[in-house]
Structure 1
Amino acid sequence: MFSMKPSTPLPLSIAFAALSTLAACGGSSHSSPVAVDPQPPAQPAPTPPTQPAPPPPVDPAPTPGSPELTLEPGYTSISSTTSFSQPNWPAWSHSGTASVDGVGCAQSETYHTHALLTVYRNGVRLALPDSIGRGSGCNYEMHTHDGSGVLHIETDVPRTFTLGQFLSLWGQGIGGGAVLGMPGPARYYLISNERIAPVTTDPAAIPLAAQTEIVVILGTPPAALPRYDWAGSGL
């Protein structure tokens, strides 16, 4: 019988195989840590752009029904208005001597003063009829001579008449959607001492004061109103 010596080749081969197996699986049970990219720091939210301040409010344009009126820089003679005023109404017709709305026949000219009534239609000055309140045996205490719009007030004692009284004598009205026989509405202004003021009360109640102009405007107003020379016009 052959006796066999113990030897180590087999265990070494087993150990080598085990090492090969470990190398194939990654080498050891403790694998190298995997590098992880660090998270970038959180960025702050962008600041919204500053909104520009709103523009200041703009004053509204003047209302077409209430335009600003101005006077011409130079003076105009009132008597010259007949040359650029357009005829519009028929001649005044009246008979009798009865009082009309408190206006009677003149007894004397102890008190004599003047006011002015001006009517514009779409920028054109209209001529009042001649001799409203004159004729037929009676010169009324308030009347016209020509188309200038001058109202002559001639009484025995100082009196103050109104626009409504003159219109009654003339036979015209300013109510009911019509103004002096023309489609309304109208705007009324008072010019005294070269100052223009809109009339916000009943226009029929406007007093006919000395050297005062009442302006009635229908439609588009004129670019500027004449600045009248009362003294130079003999009024």
Structure 2
Amino acid sequence: MAAKSDRRERARTKAADRASMQRRARGRRRVLLAAAVVVVVAVGTALVASTITRGDHVSATPERATTAAPPWPAPSDPSARAQAAGLKVAGMEGTALHIHPHLSISVDGKPVTVPANIGIDVQRGGMSALHTHDTSGILHVESAKIEPFMLGQLFTEWGVALHDRQVGGYVDGERNDRVTVFVDGKRTSTPLPTIRLQDHQDIAIVITTAGTTPTAPAPFDWSAAG
């Protein structure tokens, strides 16, 4: 009887030891899992902070493009607007493609300012391949690779609505609006967003009232641009 009692006691002791070991193993797994979660969160936070600092990527959804009358100021969040245009904001200008078109806009003969810092995020210290430095109307394309850049991308960065024959709140054929586009002094029927930007190209958007005869402005003086 004593032998049986001893065997039962040893069995209970072994069972208790196994249960204790299992509890300790589960505890270690929980600790390791919690530590792994902390590491993942810390790494993710660091990556996000680094990305925002470099200005390589912005996840914010930009405001809707304006259909109001001008003036049209520079965008409040250039990085978000550049991303909406399919352009990346980086800390350095590209050198594979370097061209300078010119854009002018007028409404009933009055010039509309193309603002500085379209595509330039001063706060984050970065710029897209398509941007403006001043109010001269000169567009800068400085890309790390050779690819087409379109007028529609600039207006998306700017935050101004641009469609086939619409600029901001002006729609050709509506409310007596007339939207005429000249490229290098010649009228074009190419849809506005798909006009491909070229070096020393002169793009003029002339908005008038129906019944008037739109005329191309004088060619841009590149010699004075420096």
- Per the shorter chain, which TM-score range? 0.5 to 0.7
Deviation of residue 158 (structure 1)?
Answer: 2.6
Structure 1 pair 92–157 and aligned structure 2 pair: CA distance change class (3 A) = same
Rounded to whole Å, the distance in 2 between the matches of 1:95 and 1:227 is: 29
The question of 1:203 aligning with 2:192 is answered yes
Residue in 2 aligned with 1:154?
142
CA positional deviation for 1:223: 6.4
- Using the TM superposition, give the Cα deviation of residue 224 of structure 1 relative to its aligned residue in structure 2, in angstroms: 6.0
Specify the alignment match of 1:230 in structure 2.
222
Conserved? CA contact 2:78–2:119, under 8 Å: no
Letter in 1 for 2:136: S
Give the RMSD, CA atoms, in angstroms.
Answer: 2.5
Q: Is the 8 A contact 2:165 2:191 kept in 1?
A: no
Q: CA deviation at 1:233?
A: 1.9
User: Who is 1:92 aligned against?
Assistant: 75
1:134 alignment partner in structure 2: 120
Query: After superposition, what is the alpha-carbon deviation per residue over 1:177-235, rounded to whole angstroms, capped at 9, x for unaligned?
Result: 8522x3332111101xxxx221112121100100001111111567662232324423x
Distance 1:95 1:187 in 2: 28
Letter in 1 for 2:221: D
Query: Could you say which structure has the higher helix fraction?
Result: 2
Q: Structure 1 residues 224, 172: CA separation in 2 closer, same or farther (over 3 Å shift)?
A: closer
* TM-score normalised by length of structure 1: 0.54
Please report how far the alpha carbon of residue 176 of structure 1 lies from its aligned counterpart in structure 2 after TM superposition.
8.7
The whole-number CA distance in structure 2 between the counterparts of 1:123 and 1:95 is: 29
Counterpart in the other structure of 2:204: 215
- CA deviations 1:117-159 (Å, max 9, x no partner) are 1101111111112211111322111111122211111111233
Structure 2 vs 1, CA of residues 132 and 225 (structure 1 numbering), >3 Å: closer, same or farther?
same
Residues 118-129 of structure 1 correspond to what in structure 2 (within 5 A)? 118-129=104-115
Looking at structure 1, the residues matched to 193 and 225 of structure 2 have their Cα atoms a distance apart, in angstroms, of 27
Match of 2:89 in 1: 105
Return 5+ residue gaps in structure 2 as ranges: 1-69, 173-178
| Matched residue SS, 2:127 | coil
Greater Rg, structure 1 or structure 2?
1
- TM superposition outliers: structure 1 runs of 4+ over 4 Å: 95-98, 220-224
Distance change >3 Å, CA 214–CA 224, structure 1 → 2: closer
Aligned-residue sequence identity (percent) comes to: 29
Report the Cα offset of residue 99 of structure 1.
Answer: 2.6
Q: Which amino acid aligns with 1:188?
A: V
List runs of 5+ in structure 1 lacking aligned partners: 1-86
1:173 paired with 2:161, answer yes
144-153 or 205-214, which deviates more: 144-153
- Residue 100 (structure 2) aligned to one of 114, 119, 123: 114
Residue 157 of structure 1: SS of its match in structure 2?
A: coil
Q: Is the 8 A contact 1:121 1:221 kept in 2?
A: no
